[in-house]
């Protein structure tokens, strides 16, 4: 043991360690963890044949580790002969330099990788990658399943970090049970797992396995007095060409998982080459956004909001556009999701609030007063609470009344972390700023949440207006939404009004305000000013 680390450190290491004589293959020393993993009835391992401690089918692979040149980095997944249930990642490294007569085998239980012990550490990520590489080496037709737990921050907010971690452990067990006995599952990040799964029928098998994993992980969890509902998004990709292409397969599986999450969460997607192209486009957009604000390429367009009662322009919704050189006017759907992923949404969101408030001030100075402007707030801005300071600074810089600013939040943004969102919006309303619930009816809002977090305006999504002038049920549904808004002392605003017939029905249903192409598309500030001066009252006759 002269060449092995200090005896105390060796004996108390959290992973199993075996010091093996390279020439004889016998165990020179074993620490406590190795004994618990490999020994029969706690018998000493010293003097035992190291190869014989592992399951027969994996002995050749372990032998290759010992007979290697002693270069660190090799690893295999093997089971203990005495305890077949103990699945371990076995790695080899020389006790001293590469010429050392002693090789140290480190044993990391795969269960520890699944549970994610010390998952934030680089060593743990290394172990996870090594386990995946070893699993790919021994698997036929291997596919990777990249599992991303949806909205896990809300679970932490609800339960706290300790109990939220127990939910991850429970998810890991379900995923493990839903995979085959020869498949491998590791914890890969805070709320991410990766599985290596044998898929003999290729995409057909992978699709079925991914669907099974989504379903298994999505059943409710009971933690103390709490019943927690969690979903996962899964991306699957084939490992083509063995372990050497593991990194490529991981990138593809992760891209597919992002596509699944973007499609609505709680879903799975198989990697498609189109996803790689989309990733390249996203990277290009993200790079361009870095300097877009500095170059003055971002602009705001304003869509009028009409008060049905007095036929006047009550306010406007500010919508960001990107005047990107060589691309023309880029709509927000093409870059806002990317800004949210990269974190650039914080800077963009702050700029939008400041610019909108400044525009209100300019209109007031031009004799167009009494208008409010609404801006969209992202889930990230709510989660971090930064929007409160952004609003406060914008109010101070523009010197406009607080009630001239309206923050629009979507139901899906509230769901990510409802407690924090509620607290942030209360702070915003305490400043005098109004709050609108956007896309009402398309998300997951409950009446109790609306009672706890009152909104000044409810915006009825355009999807509910499609058949309002044709189908009685559609009209009844919109009428109920308008009545609900009024019961909470909120204004009802209908979005996406495109025809005069829709407008007439909304007027009859006593909807307070409307916006849509029937009046105007979102337009630059000067065009909006002209629209206000002309007035749309002829449409309301």
Q: What is the pLDDT of residues 255-297, one digit of tens each?
A: 999 999 888 889 999 999 888 787 788 888 888 998 898 899 9
Tokens of residue 468, six digits: 């309002």
CA–CA dist 401, 305 (Å, integer): 19
Closest listed residue to residue 298, CA positions, set 245, 243, 351:
351
Per-residue model confidence as pLDDT tens digits over 31-82: 988 998 998 777 889 999 999 999 988 888 888 888 875 554 567 778 899 8
Per-residue model confidence as pLDDT tens digits over 187-196: 887 789 999 9
The SS3 call for residue 276 is: helix
Which of the 8 DSSP states describes residue 502?
H
- Please report which confidence band the pLDDT of residue 328 belongs to, taking 50, 70 and 90 as the band edges: very high
Average pLDDT of the chain, as a whole number: 85
More confident: 153 or 256 = 256
Report whether pLDDT(3) > 50. Answer: no
Cα distances from 120 to residues 113, 192, 484, in angstroms, run 11, 12, 47
234 touches 210 (CB < 8 A)? yes
Per-residue model confidence as pLDDT tens digits over 519-530: 999 999 999 999
Tokens of residue 402, six digits: 């607080």
Q: What is the mean pLDDT of residues 212-216?
A: 94
**Percentage of residues in the chain having pLDDT higher than 70:** 90
Report whether pLDDT(9) > 80. Answer: no
Cα distances from 476 to residues 201, 438, 447, 479, 482, in angstroms, run 50, 20, 19, 5, 10
Residue 265: what pLDDT? 85
Q: What is the mean pLDDT of residues 93-113?
A: 76
What's the angle, vertex CA 530, arms to CA 525 and CA 535, rounded to 5? 125
More confident: 239 or 293 = 239
- Please report which confidence band the pLDDT of residue 120 belongs to, taking 50, 70 and 90 as the band edges: very low
Residue 96: what pLDDT? 64
Residue 395: what pLDDT? 93
Report whether pLDDT(118) > 50. Answer: no
Domains of the chain: 7-110 (3.30.450.20), 116-271 (3.30.70.270), 297-531 (3.20.20.450)
- Please report which confidence band the pLDDT of residue 415 belongs to, taking 50, 70 and 90 as the band edges: confident
For every residue of 69-128, which 3-state class applies, written as one string?
Answer: CCCCCCEEEEEECCCCCCEEEEEEEECCCCCCCEEEEEEEEHHHHHHCCCCCCHHHHHHH
- Please report which confidence band the pLDDT of residue 121 belongs to, taking 50, 70 and 90 as the band edges: very low
Tokens of residue 76, six digits: 């295999």
Closest listed residue to residue 105, CA positions, set 174, 190, 38:
38
Q: What are phi and psi of 61, to 5 degrees?
A: -65, -40
Residue 290: what pLDDT? 86
- Please report which confidence band the pLDDT of residue 387 belongs to, taking 50, 70 and 90 as the band edges: very high
More confident: 450 or 483 = 483
Span of 105-119, 171-185, 274-288, 293-307 with lowest mean pLDDT: 105-119
Q: What is the mean pLDDT of residues 24-29?
A: 92
Residue 538: what pLDDT? 46
Residue 180: what pLDDT? 84
- Please report which confidence band the pLDDT of residue 91 belongs to, taking 50, 70 and 90 as the band edges: confident
189 touches 119 (CB < 8 A)? yes
Residue 127: what pLDDT? 78
Highest mean pLDDT among 213-217, 419-423, 463-467: 213-217
Q: What is the mean pLDDT of residues 303-308?
A: 94
Residue 51: what pLDDT? 94
Q: What are phi and psi of 116, to 5 degrees?
A: 80, 35
Q: What is the mean pLDDT of residues 143-156?
A: 90
Residue 307: what pLDDT? 92
């Amino acid at each position: 043991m002269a060449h092995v680390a200090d005896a105390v450190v060796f004996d108390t290491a959290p992973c199993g360690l075996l010091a093996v004589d390279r020439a004889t293959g016998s165990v020179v020393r074993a620490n406590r963890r190795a004994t618990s993993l490999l020994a029969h009835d706690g018998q000493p391992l010293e003097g035992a044949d190291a190869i014989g401690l592992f399951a027969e089918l994996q002995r050749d692979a372990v032998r290759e580790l010992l007979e290697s040149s002693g270069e660190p980095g090799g690893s295999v997944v093997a089971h203990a002969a005495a305890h077949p249930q103990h699945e371990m990642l076995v790695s080899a490294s020389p006790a001293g330099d590469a010429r050392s007569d002693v090789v140290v085998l480190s044993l990391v239980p795969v269960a520890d990788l699944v549970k994610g012990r010390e998952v934030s550490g680089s060593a743990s990520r290394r172990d996870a990658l090594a386990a995946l590489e070893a699993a790919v080496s021994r698997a036929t037709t291997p596919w990777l399943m990249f599992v991303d737990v949806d909205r896990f921050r809300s679970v932490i907010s609800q339960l706290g970090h300790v109990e939220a971690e127990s939910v991850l452990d429970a998810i890991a067990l379900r995923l493990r049970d839903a995979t085959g006995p020869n498949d491998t599952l590791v914890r890969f990040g805070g709320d991410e797992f990766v599985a290596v799964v044998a898929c003999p029928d290729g995409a057909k098998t992978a699709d079925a396995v991914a669907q099974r994993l989504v379903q298994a992980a999505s059943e409710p969890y009971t933690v103390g007095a709490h019943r927690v509902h969690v979903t996962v998004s899964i991306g699957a990709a084939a490992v083509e060409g063995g372990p050497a292409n593991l990194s490529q397969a991981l990138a593809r599986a992760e891209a597919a998982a992002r596509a699944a999450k973007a499609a609505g969460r709680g879903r799975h997607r198989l990697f498609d080459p189109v996803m790689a192209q989309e990733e390249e486009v996203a990277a290009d957009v993200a790079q361009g956004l870095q300097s877009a604000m500095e170059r003055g390429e971002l602009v705001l367009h304003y869509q009028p909001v009409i008060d049905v009662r007095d036929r006047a322009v009550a306010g406007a919704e500010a919508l960001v556009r990107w005047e990107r050189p060589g691309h023309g006017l880029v709509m927000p759907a093409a870059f806002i999701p990317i800004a949210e992923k990269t974190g650039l949404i914080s800077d963009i969101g702050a700029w939008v609030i400041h610019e909108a408030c400044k525009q209100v001030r300019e209109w007031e100075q031009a004799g167009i007063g009494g208008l409010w402007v609404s801006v969209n707030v992202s889930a990230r801005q709510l989660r971090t609470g930064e929007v409160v300071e952004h609003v406060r600074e914008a109010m101070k810089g523009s010197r406009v009344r607080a009630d001239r600013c309206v923050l629009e939040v979507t139901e899906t943004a509230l769901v990510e972390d409802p407690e924090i969102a509620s607290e942030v919006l209360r702070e915003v309303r305490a400043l005098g700023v109004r709050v609108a619930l956007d896309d009402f009816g398309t998300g997951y809002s409950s009446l109790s949440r609306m009672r706890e977090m009152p909104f000044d305006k409810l915006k009825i999504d355009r999807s509910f207006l499609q058949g309002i002038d044709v189908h009685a049920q559609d009209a009844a549904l919109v009428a109920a939404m308008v009545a609900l808004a009024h019961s909470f002392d909120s204004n009802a605003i209908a979005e996406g009004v495109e025809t005069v017939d829709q407008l007439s029905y909304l007027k009859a249903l006593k909807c307070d305000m409307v916006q849509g192409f029937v009046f105007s598309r979102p337009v630059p500030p000067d065009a909006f000013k002209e629209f206000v001066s002309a007035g749309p009252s002829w449409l309301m006759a």
